[in-house]
Amino acid sequence: MEKGRIIIVEDEEDILMMLSEFLRGNGYAVDPFNDSKKALIALKNNNYQIMITDLMMPKIDGLQLINFIQKEYLDTLGIVITGYGSLETAIGVMRCGAFDYVLKPFKFEEVLATVDSAMYYFNLIKADNIPKGLRLKSNLLRRYAENKIVRENTILRSCLKDKYKFENIIGNSFPMQKVFELIEKVADTNATALVTGESGVGKELVARAIHFNSSRRDSPLVVVNCGAIPETLLESELFGYEKGAFTGAANTRLGRFEIANGGSIFLDEIGDMSVNLQVKLLRVLQERSFERIGGSKTITVDLRIIAATNRSLEDLVKQGKFREDLYYRLNVVPIHIPPLRERRQDIPLLLNYFLERSNRLNNANIEGFTEEAIKTLLDYQYPGNVRELQNIVERMAVLKRNGYIDLEDLPEKLYANEGVGETAPLNMERGYDTLVSEFEKTLIAKALQETQGVKSKAAQVLSINRTTLIEKMKRLGID
């Protein structure tokens, strides 16, 4: 049986043929391409586990192929071949999401070793069958990348770490400066941090900055989205289980706390955690110890806990949905990120930052914004915060490609700038109930639109229960 399927993209015919033969001889199925345009189509239509690509090629280059994999959410792991002396470029390529690189001139054995380890990681990721939200895949791969660079060269290693320095958190507003100060102060302590703020303000970015600026940076940062995983599953994800703990537990499995040992764990959407699990988490916070499900041995871990939520834990405490003692344990270092509309000075910086990035990623060449466009972009409310701003800029870069972004290039919602409820003129004769229902409808539709139709998120935006939202949608006939 073949070990895996590889696509090779290389414009030098000789290398392409020899490398293909060599890898075939070592048990891989190989599709060689000397034309990157054709390769792109093949990439999309076949489930390759690995892509080996030259970096410099006419038409579509290696970096674009890597970007394509990312954009299309393909499982393929990319290995980039690049000319001698351009280690720096290679590392840049890894930052863009490549799995690994090989420098020219290379020995075939070297390529094979890289391919074998990519295959190993590929299978690991698949076998883990990770529920959405755990994002172990990117953790695993990032760790691989980091280790490789540690081996390579310490100076260049700092270049990868840069990704999590503050240069990637943009903001010169007063509140953001305060956030930076706080990160700097607490990063290298073991203090538990609680990052709060609306959706899309950059909570995860801040959590990562804390980890990567701490002395734990070479150990894992494990991300767990407590809101995305059902309660029973979350418990076993966090604490692990012993073989035979329940039907289906065929093998002992490590939980995320154990995997994060030595490093940090990021508990995202902590406000969604059930009260039952909150008790168990409290113990981990207090003692750094726990038992696996079905186990009696107490396991002690050394880890840094960072939690985040876009809900108000104070309110949840008042409502009896969040344990007060846990809240105080978590809230040792509170880091609040205000919504973008409350720190508008950051908007121009963010616009430029994302424009540059989108230009680079999409091979676009947009020079900037017209004065009118900027004005409108500055006035907008950004209910989705920085994430929304980023999406807006990326979309425009893809559609426009060059020149200046003008008013007409902006998404309609920006210049329409309608306040909710002001859309239809108020005609009192239509009756109180009808008008209120209409207002409710507009509100809900807007929230659903903002959250891509995810009801739990829409409910959060509106600060109502998910069940209340569903009831209202039924009553108002919203699909």
Question: Of residues 125, 205, 245, 445, which one binds ligand ATP by CB under 6 A?
Answer: 205
| Distance in angstroms (rounded) separating the CA atoms of residues 117 and 110 | 11
Q: Are 236 and 279 in contact (CB under 8 A)?
A: no
Q: Does 338 bind ligand ATP (CB under 6 A)?
A: no
Q: Which is closer to Mg ion, CB of 206 or CB of 293?
A: 206
Q: Give the residues lining the site for Mg ion (CB under 5 A).
A: 204
Pick between residue 206 and residue 303 the one whose CB is nearest to Mg ion.
Answer: 206
- The residue among 32 and 384 lying less far from Mg ion, judged by its C-beta, is 384
Sign of the torsion formed by the C-alpha atoms of 366, 368, 373 and 377? positive
Q: What angle do CA 16, 147, 216 make, to 5 degrees?
A: 155
- What phi and psi, each to the nearest 5 degrees, are found at residue 44? -70, -35
Which is nearer to Mg ion, 36 or 199 (by Cβ)?
199
- Does the protein bind ligand ATP through residue 171 (CB under 6 A)? yes
CB closer to ligand ATP, 278 vs 391: 391
How many beta carbons lie within 10 A of that of residue 476, not counting itself?
13
Does an H or E element contain 366, and which?
strand 365-369
Confirm or reject binding of residue 329 to ligand ATP (CB under 6 A). Answer: no
199 binds ligand ATP (CB under 6 A): yes
| Alpha carbon distance 252, 91 (integer Å) | 37
> Angle CA(455)–CA(459)–CA(462) in degrees, nearest 5?
140
Given Mg ion, ligand ATP, none, residue 197, with its beta carbon under 5 to 8 Å by kind, binds ligand ATP
Both tokens of residue 9? 């993209």
Interaction between residue 169 and ligand ATP (CB under 6 A):
yes
Q: CB 304 → Mg ion: shortest distance, Å?
A: 18
364 contact, one of Mg ion, ligand ATP, none, CB 5-8 Å limit per kind: none
Given ligand ATP, Mg ion, none, residue 130, with its beta carbon under 5 to 8 Å by kind, binds: none
Q: How far is the CB of 325 from ligand ATP (least distance, A)?
A: 25
Residues 6 or more apart whose Cβ sits within 8 Å of residue 344: 173, 378
310 touches ligand ATP by CB under 6 A? yes
Which residue has its beta carbon closest to ligand ATP? 202
Residue 202 in contact with ligand ATP, rule: CB under 6 A? yes
Nearer to ligand ATP, 280 or 341 (CB): 341
Least distance from C-beta 203 to Mg ion, angstroms?
5
Residue of closest CB approach to Mg ion: 204
- Tell me whether residue 69 is exposed, middle or buried, using C-beta atoms within 10 angstroms of its C-beta: 0 to 12, 13 to 18, 19 or more: buried
Any contact of residue 135 with ligand ATP (CB under 6 A)?
no
State in angstroms the smallest separation of the CB of 472 from ligand ATP: 23
- 240 — phi, psi (to 5°)? 75, 180
Closer to Mg ion by CB, 228 or 277: give it: 228
Closest CA to 261 of 305, 296, 224: 305
Contact pick of 210, 355, 386, 469 for ligand ATP (by CB under 6 A): 386
Selection from Mg ion, ligand ATP, none that 66 binds (CB < 5 to 8 A by kind) is none
Q: Give how far the C-alpha of residue 361 lies from the chain's centroid of Cα atoms, to the nearest Å.
A: 17
203 belongs to the binding site for ligand ATP (CB under 6 A): yes
CA-to-CA distance for 328 and 83, rounded, in angstroms? 54
**Nearer residue to ligand ATP within complex by CB, 40 or 229:** 229
**Which CB atom, from 295 or from 348, has the smaller least distance to ligand ATP?**
348
C-alpha span between 50 and 4 (Å, rounded): 8
How far apart are CB 433 and Mg ion at their closest, in Å?
Answer: 39
Residue 202 CB, shortest distance to ligand ATP, in Å, is 3
The one among 387, 400, 413, 441 contacting ligand ATP by CB under 6 A: 387
By C-beta, is 203 or 323 nearer to Mg ion?
203
Q: How far is the CB of 198 from ligand ATP (least distance, A)?
A: 7
For tokens 């396991």, the residue is 299
Q: Which is nearer to ligand ATP, 203 or 329 (CB)?
A: 203
Half-sphere exposure of 233 (CA within 13 A, CB side): 13
Among 64, 114, 139, 390, binds ligand ATP (CB under 6 A): 390
Nearest Cα neighbor of 57 from 84, 85, 88, 36 is 36
Q: Which of 4, 97, 197, 220 binds ligand ATP (CB under 6 A)?
A: 197
With binding defined as CB under 6 A, does residue 270 bind ligand ATP?
no
Contact between 183 and ligand ATP per CB under 6 A: no
Using the CB atoms, write b or e for 142-177: b if 16+ within 10 Å. Answer: bbbbbebbeebeeeebeebeeebebeebbbebeebe
Residue 78 contacts by C-beta under 8 Å, 6 or more apart in sequence?
50, 51, 53, 62, 65, 66, 69, 97, 98, 99
Query: Measuring CA to CA, which residue among 336, 286, 328, 333 is closest to residue 311?
Result: 336
Residue 204 as a binder of ligand ATP (CB under 6 A): the answer is yes
Residues in touch with ligand ATP (CB under 6 A): 169-171, 197, 199-205, 310, 386-387, 390
